[in-house]
């Protein structure tokens, strides 16, 4: 009944029904792939330096994951009430009206999303070019980044099923890379046990340090806000979306904790 009401809502609001293609695995990989990015590689050392102790650093990583889970579940609840593509845009439109929603989506389309995609494309291009040359020319990096952007845009326009499989594969690569880092560190620790200081030794007493660390944790888990935008592509969203969010955030949180312990 819930699925039928969702479809009736979509049909009455949009005049057309989008055929959902994402099951639990695809939706979970979408959640994990949306959240895991460069943040874990950049923020780990920054957070440890900010709080001063590895014990408190792990606590902040865990609490950040819990906060992200709560926020994502709230967004999922809103998405099941308004099951339309658009996510935050739809929530603002339904709650505040057309003009605030227009300001939000204009900022996302013309500023936030292009800047974020450009940074990610440049970073990916730089990593792809690194095996070919230790100092690749900037023109080569920029050209590769443009090609990546065009390719990703084409794939998303061409087929949701194809991009879902591609996202699952990329997510698996991310997790395997982080798992390899964890296993390598554990093997190294087994062969040569490290001498760790007490968990909370050297903990900072500066309030600004904690603010910086919490912000770093929030940034590393950022991405859950965009999960409801794909609700129309998810099969039986009332059941699948909460499960996918819980599974995805648990996987991300455990991965982050393991990598930081490593």
> pLDDT: is 95 or 186 the higher one?
95
- At 183-224, the pLDDT tens digits run 888 888 777 777 777 778 878 878 888 888 888 888 788 877
Query: For residues 94 and 88, what is the distance between their CA atoms, to the nearest angstrom?
Result: 10
The CA-based angle 114-116-122, given to 5 degrees, is 95
Exposed e or buried b for every residue in 75-101, given b needs 16+ CB within 10 A? bbebbbebbbbbbbbbbbbeeeeeeeb
Report the pLDDT value the prediction gives residue 2, as an integer from 0 to 100: 46
Q: Is the pLDDT of residue 3 over 70?
A: no
Span 1-19, average pLDDT: 49
Span 154-183, average pLDDT: 81
**Phi–psi pair at 173, nearest 5 degrees:** -65, -45
> pLDDT: is 16 or 218 the higher one?
218
Report the pLDDT value the prediction gives residue 100, as an integer from 0 to 100: 93
Question: pLDDT band for position 102 (50/70/90)?
Answer: very high
- At 67-93, the pLDDT tens digits run 988 988 888 888 888 877 778 888 899
Tokens of 199: 């968990």
Report the pLDDT value the prediction gives residue 146, as an integer from 0 to 100: 93
Report the pLDDT value the prediction gives residue 14, as an integer from 0 to 100: 47
Looking at every residue in the chain, the average pLDDT score rounds to 81
């Amino acid at each position: 009944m819930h699925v039928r009401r969702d479809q009736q809502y979509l049909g009455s609001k949009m005049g057309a029904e989008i055929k959902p293609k994402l099951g639990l695995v695809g939706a979970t990989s979408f959640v994990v792939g949306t959240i895991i990015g460069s943040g874990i590689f950049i923020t780990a050392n920054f957070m440890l330096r900010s709080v001063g102790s590895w014990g408190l650093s792990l606590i902040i990583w865990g609490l950040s994951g819990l906060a992200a889970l709560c926020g994502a579940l709230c967004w999922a609840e809103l998405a099941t009430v308004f099951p339309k593509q658009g996510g935050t845009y739809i929530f603002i439109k339904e709650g505040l009206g057309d003009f605030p929603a227009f300001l939000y989506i204009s900022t996302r389309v013309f500023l936030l999303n292009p800047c974020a995609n450009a940074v990610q494309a440049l970073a990916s291009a730089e990593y792809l070019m690194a095996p070919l040359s230790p100092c690749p020319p900037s023109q080569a990096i920029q050209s590769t980044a443009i090609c990546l952007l065009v390719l990703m845009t084409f794939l998303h326009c061409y087929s949701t099923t194809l991009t879902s499989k591609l996202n699952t594969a990329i997510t698996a690569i991310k997790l395997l890379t982080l798992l390899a880092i964890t296993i390598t560190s554990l093997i190294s620790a087994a062969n040569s046990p490290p001498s760790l200081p007490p968990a909370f030794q050297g903990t900072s007493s500066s309030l600004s340090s904690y603010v910086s660390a919490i912000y770093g944790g929030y940034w590393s888990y950022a991405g859950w806000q965009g999960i409801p935008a794909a609700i129309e592509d998810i099969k039986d969203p009332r059941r699948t979306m909460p499960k996918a969010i819980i599974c995805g955030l648990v996987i991300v949180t455990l991965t982050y904790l393991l990598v930081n312990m490593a």
